[in-house]
Amino acid sequence: MSSLKQTPLTCSGHTRPVVFLNYSDITPFGYFLISASKDGKPMLRQGDTGDWIGTFEGHKGAVWGAALTRDATKAATGAADFTAKVWDAESGEELKTFQHKHIVKCVDFSNDGNYLLTGSQEKILRIFDLEKPDEDPQAFSGHTAFIKNALFKKNGKQIISAADDKTVRVWDVSSGKEVQKLDFPAIPTSLDLTQDGSILIVTHGSTTSFWNADTLDKIKDFESPTQITTASLHPDKTIFISGGENFIMYKSDFNTGEELEAFKGHFGSVHCVRFSPDGEVYASGSEDGTLRLWQTTVGKTYGLWKCVTPDEIVNNTDSTPTKPEA
């Protein structure tokens, strides 16, 4: 089916660039996708179809980061209004607002969903105990420029952060100390962990690099013909997707780096891409204000994709929101 044309599902609804995406794990109700946008209205969707579920209303500025707990019961967002918010993902209700002193660029939940990590343009990382939300958070200082992204490692004992100071740093949660640091020749534009937590993916300049998440030993890196801003590795570690400033999405062989596909699907820079937890699709967000879902295996009957004939794929979805909030 490799000759079939890739036909993405285009999810409308955002009015400004889509800058970050995050999937839940697979739950009894399927899996879910949250999108952060400069329009200040993060959206929750069914992960395999892109169908809109609801919009989290409450931020007063661009939303830069978004996360879901593994079971998709809670969501978190970070925004230009100097706040991070935690939401009930089933009702859309705002549960808690954590005030910061500058723009919050990233949020992440611990594996058990009990802690929230934030990174801000104060150059500080914070961990909030969601069972004791009114207590002062644990703070981590050391970055010398704005923090771009931060993640909990799977064991919850360490966090990883990337910043405009051209470093990626690992921090010990119990001591609050920096324990490892990677220096890059260019600002890291994205940070991601594989689903099993074993490989760290960092994009910087035109390079996509892969690292052992436990030791921070480099596994491999690959060069692209354009500035790369985002990348995601398939759960089975056979292929990876990357995208950047030239609007093109690249699918590449993880073992060899060989380019398998390159296609223009957006009408603006690609800001974020993530594989679904089952690896069947990947989602991308762009400067053009759209979120798109793509098939890993083109032509497979999956979600809203129907393989009618060997040379025809029908896209039968309209993922435009029909009501204003969850």
CB 100 within 8 A of CB 118: yes
Could you read off the pLDDT of 97-119 as tens digits, one per residue? 999 999 999 999 999 999 999 99
Q: What is the pTM of this model?
A: 0.91
Q: For residue 132, how many C-alpha atoms fall within 13 Å in the half-sphere facing its CB?
A: 6
Residue-level pLDDT at 324: 35
Phi, psi angle pair for 218, to nearest 5°? -70, 135
Band (230; pLDDT cuts 50, 70, 90): very high
Q: For the chain, which domains are there? A: 9-315 (2.130.10.10)
Could you read off the pLDDT of 272-310 as tens digits, one per residue? 999 999 999 999 999 999 999 999 998 888 988 876 544
Token pair listed for 59: 């931020």
Residue-level pLDDT at 307: 61
* CA proximity to 235, closest of 190, 203, 206, 201: 201
